[in-house]
């Protein structure tokens, strides 16, 4: 039940209609791009896919890009290409969407959760080191909220122990680490094009890599493990011939989606700049608010700002996170929570993962709230979020 804070305050909610935490921005040129493909000869496996992949790879600074059906498919494909399988362990963060760990389960491996840093809420390299053993095959760092994790430290650990690094950059399109865009820095990097992400194809995902062998494995994996490449065939029975060489999936993206992706990609920098403008206003409004703390950012990296999260200083409030969350919703601010630590989901409990594995992650989860952040937000929307947060904090402030 929502707390009737506006009535208690003796007035109306800050907004009349709910402001979502995230939303796509589709413009007329996006629609025209899709319609053009709908009128063409190819709805899938056509020229728009190749064009989208090439432009995306160029944008993030990678040699190759492989488009797939969604971000989860991208993680699954990367896990396959990395050689993850039964008896293998992969270290990742618990503060992420479940797919970052589920992709390891898909391949028969075991996800291992390393705790986060208190400062930027990304995976802690020191915690990674404490989880290593002879079964460790890969690390999946997640660039939480769009802020790049400590890649230098992660790469150093990977080099010393011969591990594969798969960056989960579903939040981080356009982000940069030490002057280089996220996307070409590790063996593989995955992106998501869900409607709340930086650009959208409806549903969709991408894996980028600089390794030609990984590229070919990813290409086959997204299409049933099948190849028609004459140089890769075991035998060649004629121009019709193709081979299924390993178990793959139908994870292809359509040309219709790729057309939308191409149109959206051309706007990625504009969308990111708008996100940064909104964030600058949030930071100015909330930095000196004693009931709130914010994610710490290092000077050597730029966030993609997929999410803006406030962390409640609960000792300064009379209520817990749930009451604050409900109060913001009563003001028609579409607050959300990202994320429940993965191992706390009942399915992972059934697999034998106990609570308490990552205390810092669990503490963060109990105190975090996601505020609306998307480029289509008007200045009035931003004003409403700031006003609502200030109103709720003042009402519940411990005197």
Q: Where are the alpha helices (DSSP H) in 22-161?
A: 28-38, 47-60, 71-81, 99-106, 125-131, 151-161
Residues with Cβ within 8 Å of residue 340, at least 6 apart in sequence = 365
Q: Which of 198, 365, 177 is nearest to 265 (CA)?
A: 198
What is the rounded distance in angstroms from the CA atom of residue 28 to the CA atom of residue 259?
A: 13
φ/ψ (deg, to 5) at 114: -105, 140
Reply yes or no on whether 197 is catalytic.
yes
Q: Which of 80, 3, 15, 41 is nearest to 387 (CA)?
A: 15
What is the rounded distance in angstroms from the CA atom of residue 279 to the CA atom of residue 132?
A: 36
List C-alpha distances in Å: 228 to 41, 69, 220. 21, 21, 10
SS3 (DSSP) at 142: strand
**Helices 321-330 and 379-396 meet at what angle, rounded to 10?**
140
Q: What angle do CA 187, 192, 196 make, to 5 degrees?
A: 150
Q: Which of 79, 50, 44 is nearest to 65 (CA)?
A: 50
Contact 131, 112 (CB under 8 A): yes
What is the rounded distance in angstroms from the CA atom of residue 166 to the CA atom of residue 150?
A: 13
User: Considering 197, 267, 376, 391, which one is annotated as catalytic?
Assistant: 197
Q: What angle do CA 271, 277, 278 make, to 5 degrees?
A: 95
Q: Is 236 left (phi over 0), alpha (psi -120 to 50) or beta?
A: beta
What is the rounded distance in angstroms from the CA atom of residue 40 to the CA atom of residue 394?
A: 57
What totals of helices (H) and strands (E) does the chain contain, helices first?
14, 15
Contact 374, 23 (CB under 8 A): yes
For residue 164 the two structure tokens come to 């594969």
Q: What angle do CA 140, 141, 142 make, to 5 degrees?
A: 115
Q: Catalytic positions, please?
A: 197
């Amino acid at each position: 039940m929502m707390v009737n804070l506006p009535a208690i305050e003796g007035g109306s909610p800050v907004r009349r209609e709910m402001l979502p935490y995230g939303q796509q921005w589709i413009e007329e040129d996006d629609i025209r791009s899709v319609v053009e493909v709908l009128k063409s000869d190819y709805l899938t496996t056509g020229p728009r896919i190749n064009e989208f992949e090439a432009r995306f790879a160029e944008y993030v600074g990678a040699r190759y890009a492989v488009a797939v059906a969604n971000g989860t498919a991208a993680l699954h494909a990367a896990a396959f290409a990395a050689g993850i399988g039964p008896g293998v362990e992969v270290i990742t963060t618990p503060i992420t969407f479940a797919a970052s760990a589920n992709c390891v389960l898909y391949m028969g491996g075991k996800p291992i959760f390393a705790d986060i840093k208190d400062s930027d809420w990304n995976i802690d390299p020191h915690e990674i080191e404490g989880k290593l053993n002879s079964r460790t095959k890969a690390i999946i760092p997640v660039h939480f909220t769009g802020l790049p994790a400590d890649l230098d430290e992660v790469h150093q650990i990977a080099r010393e122990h011969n591990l594969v690094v798969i960056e989960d950059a579903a939040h981080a399109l356009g982000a940069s680490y030490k002057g280089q865009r996220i996307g070409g820095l590790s063996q593989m990097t995955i992106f998501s094009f869900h409607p709340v992400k930086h650009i959208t194809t409806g549903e969709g995902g991408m894996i980028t890599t600089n390794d030609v062998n990984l590229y070919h494995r990813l290409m086959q994996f997204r299409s049933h493990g099948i190849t028609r490449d004459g140089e890769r065939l075991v035998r060649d029975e004629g121009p019709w011939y193709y081979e299924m060489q390993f178990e793959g999936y139908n994870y292809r993206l359509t040309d219709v989606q790729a057309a939308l992706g191409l149109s959206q990609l051309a706007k990625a920098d504009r969308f990111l700049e708008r996100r940064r403008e909104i964030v600058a206003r949030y930071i100015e409004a909330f930095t000196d608010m004693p009931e709130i703390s914010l994610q710490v950012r290092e000077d050597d990296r730029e966030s993609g700002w997929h999410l803006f999260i406030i962390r409640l200083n609960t000792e300064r409030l009379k209520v817990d996170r749930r009451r604050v969350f409900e109060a913001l919703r009563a003001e028609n601010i579409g607050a959300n929570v990202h994320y429940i630590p993965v191992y706390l989901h009942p399915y992972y409990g059934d697999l034998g993962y106990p609570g308490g594995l990552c205390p810092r992650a669990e503490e963060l989860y109990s105190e975090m709230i996601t505020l609306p952040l998307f480029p289509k937000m008007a200045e009035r929307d931003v004003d409403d979020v700031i006003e609502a947060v200030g109103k709720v904090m003042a009402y519940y402030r411990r005197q």
